[in-house]
Structure 1
């Protein structure tokens, strides 16, 4: 009899847990639908020149190691990215940079953001001065890290205090 009661209790718990899971999945689906609606409501931008400008401003704040300046610049970049179809995840990374209070955490997210923005810029259609894809082999614990720059001389946003000139130009866009 105890076994039957235990089995019934386990079945009841499983049913409640499955129902919770279904509610969580519904909540996630509703959240995704809401996010999609927000993205759809955002103006669609096809000119990526404004993204480049906002990204360079963010990179320049990293050169200063200015947490508050990085937050402000990341927020501006997030707004630019939100208007570009398919850039929701990249805008979210910019949001994480803006929300972080530690420059190391901000720089770690900047590694990811830079990869995404570089891909966007390579596929974008805009007229501007050359944009340089720079690389530092020491960034990301020796795995290396890329960033975009408007000038050819290296100014490393990952190590501006100790290795500001570490890195090389890997590609010129435009």
Structure 2
């Protein structure tokens, strides 16, 4: 019985790891002479505070990709200062503030999961002037429970694992101007 469990566990881990090593292709590529460059079309939200909050969220996501808990604290503090100015974002503000107070990268990433779900909901309701944002998902995050986040490009840069599983995930949804 022990050997069966061991083999099943090994199979699951190998399957999960190989499924998370696939990379996403950028949505738009511009050819210049003999090289191609991936292009990110920046999103612009009509509400100034929402636009700033999205930029600050992306910065927070990016420092989590780098596994830098000190910068994550600073980025979360800035984000909480902007979110407090947005009506209906009280819970998101609280989560960002909580994250700014946390020194453990693991706990920051756990809070980031809930914060991301809150902000995805908020940004889906926001008025978008131009561009797109991408809802991405990693099934391995949070001990296999999964985790969502927002990105400005389709290329996966996983904030839950950093270099360990940088490309684990997939684009689940695109949020664009309605």
TM-score above 0.5: yes
- Could you report, residue by residue, the CA deviation over 1:64-95 in whole angstroms, capped at 9, with x for unpaired residues? 11111101100111011100111111101001
1:69 aligns with 2:71: yes
Q: Is the 8 A contact 1:46 1:84 kept in 2?
A: no
Higher-strand-fraction structure: 2
Structure 1 residue ranges (4+ consecutive) displaced by more than 6 angstroms after TM superposition: none
Question: What does residue range 28-107 of structure 1 map to in structure 2 within 5 Å?
Answer: 46-47=47-48, 48-107=50-109
- Classify the secondary structure of the residue corresponding to 2:118: helix
- Classify the secondary structure of the residue corresponding to 1:158: coil
Higher-helix-fraction structure: 1
Q: Is the 8 A contact 1:136 1:156 kept in 2?
A: yes
Deviation at 1:127, TM superposition (A): 2.0
Q: Is the 8 A contact 1:94 1:113 kept in 2?
A: yes
Distance 2:88 2:61 in 1: 22
Higher RCO, Cα 8 Å, sep 6+: 2
Distance 2:159 2:112 in 1: 9
Distance 2:129 2:159 in 1: 25
Deviation at 1:46, TM superposition (A): 4.3
- Could you report, residue by residue, the CA deviation over 1:121-159 in whole angstroms, capped at 9, with x for unpaired residues? 000113242110000000111111000001110000001
Q: TM-score, normalised by structure 2?
A: 0.70
Q: Which residue of structure 2 aligns with residue 124 of structure 1?
A: 126
Structure 1 unaligned residues grouped into runs of 5+:
1-44
Q: TM-score, normalised by structure 1?
A: 0.72
- Classify the secondary structure of the residue corresponding to 2:136: strand
Q: Which residue of structure 2 aligns with residue 165 of structure 1?
A: 167
Distance 1:167 1:130 in 2: 18
Q: Is the 8 A contact 1:63 1:160 kept in 2?
A: yes
- Classify the secondary structure of the residue corresponding to 1:55: helix
